[in-house]
Amino acid sequence: MDNSQETQPEYDFVAVEQQQQQQQQQSTGTTTASFQRDNLWLEKATDKFLSKNNNNFITMEDVHEVKGLMSAWARRASPLVVESLLKRIIDDMRAGNTAIFVSTRFYAIVSNR
């Protein structure tokens, strides 16, 4: 494997984000350039949890990080990503990870999208 090539994220965040930005620009006439500078970091941080190669249980510290990621994606009007992050935590809980839990704040983030 050529180490000079970066691995592609499991989910095409860039395409979804661009589509949503175009829709927002068409409906409001504004741009969302302020979000662009943080997109790469946000995508990499999110992919860490949504990657199909990540079979490890997440910790409570990870849960707090996921909550922050969910909020960031909600501000970017990306409900599918927000729901995918919540699903990742719930799947871990169902798989027997008793060290983590979700609060009503998680569901508020999803529903307020």
CA 74 to chain centre: 9
Q: ∠ CA 105-106-107 to the nearest 5 degrees?
A: 90
Pairwise CA distance, residues 17 & 22, whole Å: 9
- The answer to whether residue 89 sits within a structural domain is yes
**Residue 81 belongs to some domain of the structure:** yes
Q: Look at residue 49 and tell me if it is in a domain.
A: yes
Residue 19 lies in a domain: no
> Are the C-beta atoms of residues 85 and 73 closer than 8 Å to each other?
yes
- Averaged over successive runs of 10 residues, the pLDDT of the chain (113 residues) comes to 51 67 59 64 92 85 95 91 94 94 91 71
In a domain, 75, yes or no: yes
Q: What range does the domain containing 53 cover? A: 34-112
* Ramachandran area for residue 48 (φ above 0: left; ψ -120 to 50: alpha; else beta): alpha
Residue 53, pLDDT score: 77
Whether residue 54 is contained in a domain is answered as: yes
Q: Give how many domains the chain has, as a whole number.
A: 1
Note if the pTM is more than 0.85. no
